[in-house]
């Protein structure tokens, strides 16, 4: 939303040293996973990150509290992602839209659904409704980068993510996608 | 009173007198009075000590526990049991306020089972005990010559408090054999005690062979008159004639023996078996009839003078009990209890009081203050003194008994000196142990515990051991548990306990663990706890996990207000500080292992959470799971949220 991203307001737990250690107590562990998962979601939403890579510098801040000199280990972070995957909050990149039910240890790059494709689809639908563009054909580029979508939530959205959102609409029969790889267009009904 | 209510220790065992030694324990016994069962005293453990026989009830130990002093026991009999009737040991009390002579002279009857008589209560002849008896006893104590049985007067200048092996003793007036010191000493003491007894009017009597024969016989005639009266209503036949004023007629050969003799002088027939008390008690209370009639006494303590008390052994053990009882009746340790301490006391500090050191080293005394030489001199004298005491004591066993107290004191002081070489830290512990060892005189060993066979006696041993342990732990003077912060690992306790036993009668780890597991069952004030790692610890039963957690939380909360020693990255006012097991161990006085377990227990309960870092494992108050899952989707907690969270936190405590 805001092009010069203000610093993310980390929750209280982020400054709690024990937050970075995997808890042994199952109740605590679950609470910890939940807190981490909400932290990751809000962090990604704040920075408008659609893909999360455990090794990318963009997430360095998220898992590493420089002030405390504490870091959530990669293994523990993966576990958090596994936890989120079960809740449908993340999905492996390249794992297909079938979801990460394959059981394999999650890849290091995941889609973060701080809004699920369905939610995105609804947002798109509403926007199409509001701007009275039913029946018109829009290119994907127009949807994500075009002037018309400036100010909407999905402006600047990852194209692949947009694809996923559109796929939801297609399945519902609300849209149709056609065209070549690079030149895809979409028509809303 | 024959049966007395007794005090129990925290572990529900009888509290012992200072010199009392536990000899035997047997469970599943019941008490009878005469033929009749005593109510509420039908299932318990009997403790035979050197001084008493204690009964501790199993159901309500605090209410129904009684003891009888062995010194009040006139006679004891053994009944082996028949068909359904359990084996029993019958204890016949001494007739109160009466010398043993009279009872013996009066009633020579067959068995104590003649209880259903209506003879008057013996307490009724209380006023009969004239002061003159006491007065005459006070003036002339006698000792009976072991060789010729002649009763000699104890020399008037003989003072039991100062007498030692070197005190000159006059030989027997009849045969000229010099008596043993202990013999005269005992006679003198028994004289003193019987004098005290007269003065206080208490009912204990002197043991059989030491009774002052001459004086008693002087009064026998008059007392007998009373006795005849006492027994007139009794159904018991009285075969002996009451004209045996100065002696006791042998039932076999009719020789008139001296009353002090235990067997007939002529034919050797035992005389002691005819010691029958004058069948005193009449029970007006209604009773039920047959096999085991129960006595309907409201209070056991009200039993003033039962004609006999029977201990019924329903689980065996009667033979050993009887043997040990015989032993302790012969030893008469209770005399020792009142015996004056043997002079030449070796108590290290008051040096020079012993007559030996004074007489032996005259010049030493003159320069005893002179510096190191003086100290050395002092040490030398003390050693000499000790050497003498030891040599003296081991001269014969009788003498050892007489000087037992001194020897014990010596042994203790040796034990203390032995610890001198160790460094200061352990010497303190050793001192504690040495002290404990001496205090731990009453220990349960396998052989003092009876039982029928196999598992039965094993169980009894374990339960006794459990009680023993509980006493060891809760003893305030030792403070074993307190020193360890209220919690001690079983292994540490085992080591400490066995060390306290001084290397004898060690307890095997297996038995120890089994005994510890009995605590809960026996409702003792300590409990065994097993941590999830399998570590077993011992703690007071009032200490639960909740109290521990509470203590931990209070501590952690306090840390919110205490600035850390060095700069920390987190907000210590909000989160406090992580604590290691080491910190907790220091704070609460636990051992590290215990602290680890306690912290993990608290973590398991979700009260604490862990932080692993380069500094090691630290435990924090749980700020991760604060019970706010309902609101987890809210990303930025509002003011009210924080208040609710704070409330929640405090509510968690």
Q: Is B625 within 8 Å of A30 when comparing Cβ atoms?
A: yes
**Residue B414 pLDDT:** 65
Beta carbons within 10 angstroms of residue A32's beta carbon: 27
Query: Which residue of chain A comes nearest to B575, CA vs CA?
Result: A16
What is the ipTM metric for this complex? 0.74
Q: Mind listing the pLDDT tens digit for each residue in B447-491?
A: 555 544 455 567 777 888 888 788 788 776 667 777 777 788 888
- Binned at pLDDT 50, 70 and 90, residue B397 comes out as low
A105 and A35 share a domain?
Answer: yes
Interface of B with A (CB under 8 A): 569-571, 574-575, 578, 603-606, 609-613, 618, 620, 622-626, 629, 632-633, 635-637
User: Do β-strands B526-530 and B487-489 pair in parallel, antiparallel, or remain unpaired?
Assistant: unpaired
- Binned at pLDDT 50, 70 and 90, residue B400 comes out as low
Beta carbons within 10 angstroms of residue A13's beta carbon: 19
Chains A and B: how many Cβ contacts under 8 Å?
Answer: 84
Residue B631 has pLDDT above 50, yes or no: no
**Regions of chain A short of the pLDDT cut 50:** 1-2, 96-106
**Domain of A56?**
12-112
Q: Is B610 within 8 Å of A31 when comparing Cβ atoms?
A: no
Is residue A35 one of the residues assigned to a domain? yes
A105 and A183 share a domain?
Answer: no
Q: Identify the residue whose tokens are 């006059």.
A: B170
- Decide: residue B5, CB within 10 A, 0-12 exposed, 13-18 middle, 19+ buried: middle
What percent of chain B is predicted at pLDDT more than 70?
A: 57
Residue B326 has pLDDT above 70, yes or no: yes
The shortest C-alpha distance from B490 to chain A (Å) reads: 26
User: Is some CB atom of chain B closer than 8 A to the CB atom of A9?
Assistant: yes
- Decide: residue B653, CB within 10 A, 0-12 exposed, 13-18 middle, 19+ buried: exposed
**Residue B186 pLDDT:** 79
- Binned at pLDDT 50, 70 and 90, residue B645 comes out as low
Compute the distance between CA of residue B55 and CA of residue B64 in angstroms, rounded to an integer. Answer: 8
Pick from B574, B603, B624: CB nearest A19:
B624
Q: Which of B63-67, B137-141, B501-505 has the highest mean pLDDT?
A: B63-67
Kindly list the residues from chain B whose CB atom is less than 8 angstroms away from the CB atom of residue A20. 611
Residue B165 has pLDDT above 80, yes or no: no
* Weakest-pLDDT range from A103-112, B104-113, B306-315, B438-447: B104-113
Q: Is B623 within 8 Å of A13 when comparing Cβ atoms?
A: yes
Residue among B594, B593, B624 nearest B606 (CA): B624
- Binned at pLDDT 50, 70 and 90, residue B520 comes out as confident
Q: What residues have CB less than 8 Å from B523, skipping those under 6 apart?
A: B12
- As a CATH number, domain B4-95+280-334 is 2.30.29.30
**Eight-state DSSP code of residue A63:** H
Token pair, residue B290, equals: 């047959």
Q: State the average pLDDT over residues B162-185.
A: 76
Q: Is B625 within 8 Å of A11 when comparing Cβ atoms?
A: no
Question: What CATH number does residue A53 fall under?
Answer: 1.10.10.570
* Weakest-pLDDT range from A110-114, B139-143, B317-321, B438-442: B438-442
Is residue A2 one of the residues assigned to a domain? no
Is residue A100 one of the residues assigned to a domain? yes
Is residue A150 one of the residues assigned to a domain? yes
**Eight-state DSSP code of residue B85:** B
The three-state secondary structure class of B200 is helix
Q: Which of A54-63, B157-166, B447-456, B623-632 has the highest mean pLDDT?
A: A54-63
- Binned at pLDDT 50, 70 and 90, residue B431 comes out as low
User: Is some CB atom of chain B closer than 8 A to the CB atom of A98?
Assistant: no
A100 and A149 share a domain?
Answer: no
In this predicted model, which residue has the larger pLDDT, B196 or A83? A83
**Residue B183 pLDDT:** 79
Enumerate the domain spans of chain B.
Answer: 4-95+280-334, 103-274, 345-353+362-439, 446-540, 545-622
Compute the distance between CA of residue B540 and CA of residue B548 in angstroms, rounded to an integer. Answer: 12
Query: Which residue of chain B comes nearest to A71, CA vs CA?
Result: B613
**Residue B253 pLDDT:** 83
**Residue B448 pLDDT:** 54
Query: Which residue of chain A comes nearest to B620, CA vs CA?
Result: A18
**Residue B294 pLDDT:** 57
A59 and A144 share a domain?
Answer: no
In this predicted model, which residue has the larger pLDDT, B389 or A80? A80
A125 and A91 share a domain?
Answer: no
What percent of chain B is predicted at pLDDT more than 90?
A: 0
A43 and A90 share a domain?
Answer: yes
Residue B309 has pLDDT above 70, yes or no: yes
- Binned at pLDDT 50, 70 and 90, residue B121 comes out as very low
Structural domain count of chain A: 2
**Eight-state DSSP code of residue B295:** B
Compute the distance between CA of residue B76 and CA of residue B88 in angstroms, rounded to an integer. Answer: 10
Residue among B266, B328, B337, B434 nearest B89 (CA): B328
**Residue B234 pLDDT:** 43
A89 and A127 share a domain?
Answer: no
For B545-622, CATH number out of 1.10.510.10, 1.10.760.10, 1.10.150.20, 1.10.10.10 equals 1.10.10.10
A23 and A72 share a domain?
Answer: yes
For B446-540, CATH number out of 1.10.10.10, 3.30.70.360, 1.20.1440.230, 2.40.10.10 equals 1.10.10.10
Summarize chain B as % helix, strand, coil (round to 5): 40, 15, 45
Query: Which residue of chain A comes nearest to B603, CA vs CA?
Result: A25
**Residue B117 pLDDT:** 41
Task: DSSP for B463-507, please give it.
Answer: HHHHHHHHHHHH-TTT-HHHHTTTEEEHHHHHHHHHHHTTTSSPP
A103 and A30 share a domain?
Answer: yes
Residue B290 has pLDDT above 50, yes or no: no
Query: Which residue of chain B comes nearest to A39, CA vs CA?
Result: B635
Picking from A95, A112, A129, the residue at the C-terminal end of a domain is A112
* Inter-residue long-range contacts of A148-157, CB under 8 Å, 24+ positions, other chains counted: A152/A123, A152/A127, A153/A1, A153/A115, A153/A123, A154/A120, A154/A123, A154/A124, A154/A127, A156/A48, A157/A50, A157/A120
Q: Do domains B446-540 and B545-622 have the same CATH topology?
A: yes
Q: Mind listing the pLDDT tens digit for each residue in B354-370?
A: 444 444 444 444 444 67
Q: Order of strands across the sheet with B487-489? A: B487-489, B536-540, B526-530
Compute the distance between CA of residue B193 and CA of residue A187 in angstroms, rounded to an integer. Answer: 121
The shortest C-alpha distance from B531 to chain A (Å) reads: 15
Residue B219 has pLDDT above 50, yes or no: no
**Eight-state DSSP code of residue A139:** E
Beta carbons within 10 angstroms of residue B476's beta carbon: 8
- Binned at pLDDT 50, 70 and 90, residue B106 comes out as very low
Q: Is the Cα dihedral A144, A147, A150, A152 positive or negative?
A: negative
Residue among B155, B78, B81 nearest B111 (CA): B78
CA A117 from centre of chain: 9
A99 and A126 share a domain?
Answer: no
- Binned at pLDDT 50, 70 and 90, residue B241 comes out as very low
Is residue A143 one of the residues assigned to a domain? yes
Compute the distance between CA of residue B381 and CA of residue B358 in angstroms, rounded to an integer. Answer: 9
Kindly list the residues from chain A whose CB atom is less than 8 angstroms away from the CB atom of residue B626. 31
A17 and A60 share a domain?
Answer: yes
A107 and A20 share a domain?
Answer: yes
* Inter-residue long-range contacts of B12-15, CB under 8 Å, 24+ positions, other chains counted: B12/B56, B12/B61, B12/B62, B12/B467, B12/B522, B12/B523, B12/B524, B13/B47, B13/B56, B13/B464, B13/B467, B13/B468, B13/B471, B14/B47, B14/B49, B14/B52, B14/B54, B14/B56, B14/B65, B14/B67
Picking from A73, A94, A112, the residue at the C-terminal end of a domain is A112
Mean pLDDT of chain B: 67
Is residue A44 one of the residues assigned to a domain? yes
Is residue A41 one of the residues assigned to a domain? yes
Q: Is B575 within 8 Å of A16 when comparing Cβ atoms?
A: yes
Picking from A112, A137, A166, the residue at the C-terminal end of a domain is A112
Q: State the average pLDDT over residues B629-642.
A: 48
Is residue A5 one of the residues assigned to a domain? no
Kindly list the residues from chain A whose CB atom is less than 8 angstroms away from the CB atom of residue B597. none
Token pair, residue B651, equals: 């509510």
- Binned at pLDDT 50, 70 and 90, residue B419 comes out as very low
């Amino acid at each position: 939303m805001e092009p010069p991203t203000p610093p993310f307001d980390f929750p209280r737990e982020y400054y709690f040293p024990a937050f970075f250690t995997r808890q042994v107590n199952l109740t605590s562990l679950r609470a910890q996973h939940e807190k981490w998962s909400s932290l990751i979601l809000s962090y990604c939403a704040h920075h408008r990150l659609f893909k999360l890579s455990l090794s990318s510098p963009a997430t360095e801040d998220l898992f590493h509290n420089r002030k405390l000199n504490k870091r959530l280990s990669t293994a523990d972070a993966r576990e958090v992602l596994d936890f989120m995957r079960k809740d449908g909050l993340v999905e492996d990149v390249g794992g297909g839209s079938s979801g990460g039910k394959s059981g394999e240890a999650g890849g290091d790059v995941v889609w973060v659904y701080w809004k699920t494709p369905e939610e995105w689809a609804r947002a798109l639908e509403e926007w199409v409704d509001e701007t009275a563009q039913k029946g018109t054909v829009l290119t994907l580029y127009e949807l994500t980068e075009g002037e018309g979508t400036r100010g909407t939530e999905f402006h600047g959205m990852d194209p692949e993510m947009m694809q996923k959102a559109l796929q939801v609409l297609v399945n519902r029969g609300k849209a149709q996608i056609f065209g070549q790889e690079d030149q895809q267009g979409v028509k809303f009904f | 009173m024959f049966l007395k209510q007794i005090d129990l220790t925290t572990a529900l065992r009888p509290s012992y007198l200072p010199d009392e030694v536990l000899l035997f324990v047997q469970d599943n016994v019941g008490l009878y009075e005469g033929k009749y069962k005593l109510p509420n005293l039908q299932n318990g453990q009997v403790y035979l000590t050197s001084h008493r026989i204690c009964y501790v009830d199993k159901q309500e130990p605090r209410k129904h526990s009684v003891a009888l002093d062995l010194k009040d026991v006139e006679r004891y009999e053994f009944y082996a049991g028949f068909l359904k009737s359990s084996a029993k040991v019958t204890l016949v009390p001494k007739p109160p306020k009466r010398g043993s002579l009279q009872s013996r002279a009066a009633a020579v009857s067959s068995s104590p089972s003649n209880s259903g008589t209506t003879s008057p209560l013996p307490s009724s002849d209380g006023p009969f005990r004239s002061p003159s008896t006491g007065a005459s006893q006070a003036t002339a104590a006698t000792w009976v010559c072991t060789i010729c049985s002649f009763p000699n007067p104890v020399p008037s200048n003989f003072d039991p408090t100062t007498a030692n092996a070197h005190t000159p003793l006059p030989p027997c007036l009849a045969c000229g054999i010099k008596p043993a010191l202990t013999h005269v000493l005992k006679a003198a003491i028994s004289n003193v005690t019987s004098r005290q007894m007269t003065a206080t009017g208490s009912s204990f009597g002197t043991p059989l062979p030491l009774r002052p024969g001459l004086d008693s016989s002087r009064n026998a005639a008059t007392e007998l008159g009373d006795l005849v009266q006492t027994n007139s209503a009794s159904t018991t036949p009285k075969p002996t004639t009451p004209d045996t004023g100065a002696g006791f007629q042998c039932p076999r050969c009719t020789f008139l023996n001296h009353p002090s003799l235990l067997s007939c002088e002529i034919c050797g027939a035992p005389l002691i078996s005819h010691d029958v008390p004058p069948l005193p008690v009449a029970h007006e209370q209604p009773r039920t009839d047959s096999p085991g009639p129960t006595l309907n006494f409201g209070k056991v303590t009200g039993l003033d003078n039962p004609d006999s008390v029977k201990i019924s052994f329903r689980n065996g053990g009667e033979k050993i009990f009887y043997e040990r009882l015989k032993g302790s009746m012969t030893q008469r340790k209770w005399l020792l209890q009142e015996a004056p301490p043997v002079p030449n006391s070796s108590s290290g500090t008051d040096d020079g009081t012993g007559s030996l050191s004074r007489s032996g080293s005259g010049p030493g005394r003159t320069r005893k203050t002179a510096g190191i030489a003086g100290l050395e001199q002092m040490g030398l004298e003390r050693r000499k003194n000790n050497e003498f005491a030891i040599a003296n004591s081991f001269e014969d066993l009788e003498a050892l008994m007489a000087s037992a107290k001194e020897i014990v004191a010596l042994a203790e002081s040796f034990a203390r000196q032995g610890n001198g070489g160790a460094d200061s830290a352990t010497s303190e512990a050793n001192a504690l142990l040495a002290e404990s060892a001496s205090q731990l005189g009453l220990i349960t060993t396998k052989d003092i515990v009876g039982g029928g066979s196999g598992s039965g006696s094993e169980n009894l041993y374990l339960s006794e051991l459990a009680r023993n342990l509980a006493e060891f732990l809760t003893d305030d003077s030792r403070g074993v548990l307190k020193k360890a912060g209220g919690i001690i690992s079983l292994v540490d306790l085992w080591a400490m306990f066995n060390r306290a036993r001084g290397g004898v009668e060690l307890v095997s780890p297996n038995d120890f663990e089994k005994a510890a597991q009995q605590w809960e069952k026996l409702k003792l004030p300590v409990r065994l706890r097993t941590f999830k790692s399998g570590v077993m610890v011992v703690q007071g039963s009032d200490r639960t996990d909740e109290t521990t957690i509470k203590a931990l939380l209070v501590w952690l909360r306090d840390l919110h207000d205490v600035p850390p020693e060095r700069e920390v990255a987190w907000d210590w006012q909000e989160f406090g500080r992580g604590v290691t097991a080491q910190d907790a161990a220091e704070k609460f006085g636990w051992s590290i292992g215990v602290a680890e377990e306690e912290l993990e227990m608290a973590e398991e309960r979700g009260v604490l959470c862990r932080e692993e870092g380069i500094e090691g494992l630290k435990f924090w108050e749980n700020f991760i799971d604060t019970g706010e899952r309902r609101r987890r989707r809210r990303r930025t907690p509002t003011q009210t949220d924080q208040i609710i969270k704070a409330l929640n936190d405090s509510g968690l405590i």
